[in-house]
């Protein structure tokens, strides 16, 4: 047998094995578990013993009813920018238990990651388990405000839960049954959120869609579901491809005096999605020529000089929301994705720590732990 023949024979024999190895390597790579940014792996800071300052509040009543809620902008024109005080009160009253679990879970997780008291963890898991067992927030009878509440609640709870799931302290290790129940509920809710918000026409795709995508992204990592991850990335791309060359979002410009405020409100979910995608090998920073950076820069410029937005849409801007530091929590993931200028970093440091329940709690502890200080934010 000549050397050439031997080489051919060897290649023929090895080909199936090499193919199998290549397929296995590809499958292994594709199946890499989803993970959050590095800060979510942080351990519990310290374990305190003795009586806690406050016990566990009664579990909010799981909300299993119709998701038909009045809008706080009821009676407003199509700009949806004028608050209706009466309908807002009705909305707050009917959604009180949903808001309580959103805020409560976020606060309890922050306290537990700081103090490590087992009763804080048990309180959180008991609340979530009760809602999971009731299959809360899953009604198919909903209006726009109702489906909005569903995705907001999912994003709040799932992103707080991610801190428990991935902490190197492994707080969930002794609670496998509760974790399975909670994650199963999150998973079902995410499927419904996808159904609620998928493939909307572009003129109806605004900040609500970005917040829906954030809730699905947080759930994808909590439950290791690549299909949910891919949907969140798809919706992110739809969102940032709406950003024009000057950094404006046309559908948020329609919000008249609240246009700047709603541009700012669009940034937290988009920045968080990009951050979560980045650590899972999907770089979204340059989508639509760096649209996320362009949007962030435009908002920061608008906060300094609101006339930029007034000149664009003709309305004097309502700056009330933009005086709340926690509304700028998006700066934490944003400045981990892009190089922020010195003046932006200085401003970020003045406002830290950023605590916002809709993004799962204390983002400064996750993204910029060396700057953590004091008790500030919401």
Task: Tell me if 372 sits within 8 A of 363, measured CB to CB.
Answer: no
Check whether 234 is labelled as a binding-site residue.
Answer: no
142 in helix, strand or coil?
strand
Task: Tell me if 36 sits within 8 A of 105, measured CB to CB.
Answer: no
Q: Would you tell me how many other CB atoms lie within 10 Å of the CB of residue 346? A: 10
Task: Tell me if 260 sits within 8 A of 309, measured CB to CB.
Answer: yes
Task: Tell me if 210 sits within 8 A of 218, measured CB to CB.
Answer: no
Structure tokens at 365: 């502890």
Structure tokens at 172: 């969930």
Check whether 64 is labelled as a binding-site residue.
Answer: no
Check whether 144 is labelled as a binding-site residue.
Answer: yes
According to DSSP, residue 113 is labeled H
Check whether 82 is labelled as a binding-site residue.
Answer: no
Beta bridge partners of 67: 142
Check whether 367 is labelled as a binding-site residue.
Answer: no
Task: Tell me if 348 sits within 8 A of 281, measured CB to CB.
Answer: no
How far apart CA 126 and CA 120 sit, in angstroms, is: 10
42: alpha, beta or left? (left if phi > 0; alpha if psi -120 to 50): beta
The Cα-based distances of 47 to 4, 42, 119, 365 in angstroms read: 69, 14, 12, 17
Residues belonging to the binding site for substrate are 71-72, 144-145, 262
Residues belonging to the binding site are 71-72, 144-145, 262
């Amino acid at each position: 047998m000549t050397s050439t023949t031997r080489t051919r024979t060897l290649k023929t024999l090895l080909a199936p094995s090499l193919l199998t190895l290549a397929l296995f390597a590809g499958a292994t790579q594709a199946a890499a578990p989803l993970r959050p940014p590095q800060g979510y792996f942080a351990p519990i800071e310290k374990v305190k013993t003795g009586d806690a300052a406050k016990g566990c509040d009664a579990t909010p009543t799981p909300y299993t009813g119709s998701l038909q809620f009045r809008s706080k902008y009821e009676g407003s024109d199509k700009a949806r920018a004028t608050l209706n005080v009466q309908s807002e009160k009705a909305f707050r009253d009917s959604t009180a238990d949903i808001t309580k679990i959103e805020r409560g879970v976020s606060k309890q997780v922050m306290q537990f990651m700081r103090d490590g008291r087992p009763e804080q963890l048990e309180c959180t898991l008991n609340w979530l388990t009760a809602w999971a067992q009731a299959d809360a927030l899953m009604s198919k009878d909903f209006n726009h405000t109702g489906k909005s509440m569903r995705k907001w609640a999912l994003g709040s709870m799932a992103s707080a839960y991610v801190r428990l799931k991935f902490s190197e302290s492994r707080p969930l290790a002794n609670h496998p049954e509760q974790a399975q129940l909670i994650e199963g509920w999150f998973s079902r809710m995410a499927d419904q959120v996808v159904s609620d918000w998928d493939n909307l026409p572009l003129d109806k795709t605004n900040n609500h869609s970005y917040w829906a995508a954030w809730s699905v992204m947080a759930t994808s990592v909590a439950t290791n579901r690549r299909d949910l991850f891919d949907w969140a990335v798809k919706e992110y791309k739809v969102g940032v491809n709406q950003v024009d060359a000057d950094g404006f979002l046309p559908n948020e410009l329609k919000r008249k005096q609240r246009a700047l405020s709603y541009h700012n409100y669009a940034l937290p979910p988009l920045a968080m999605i990009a951050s979560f995608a980045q650590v899972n090998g999907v770089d979204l920073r340059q989508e639509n020529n760096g649209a996320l950076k362009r949007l962030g820069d435009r908002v920061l410029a608008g906060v300094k000089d609101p006339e930029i937005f007034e000149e664009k849409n003709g309305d004097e801007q309502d700056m009330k929301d933009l005086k709340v530091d926690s509304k700028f929590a998006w700066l934490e993931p944003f400045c981990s994705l892009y190089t922020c200028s010195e003046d932006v970093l200085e401003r970020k440091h003045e406002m830290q720590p950023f605590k916002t329940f809709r993004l799962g709690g204390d983002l400064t502890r996750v993204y910029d732990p060396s700057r953590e200080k004091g008790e500030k934010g919401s």
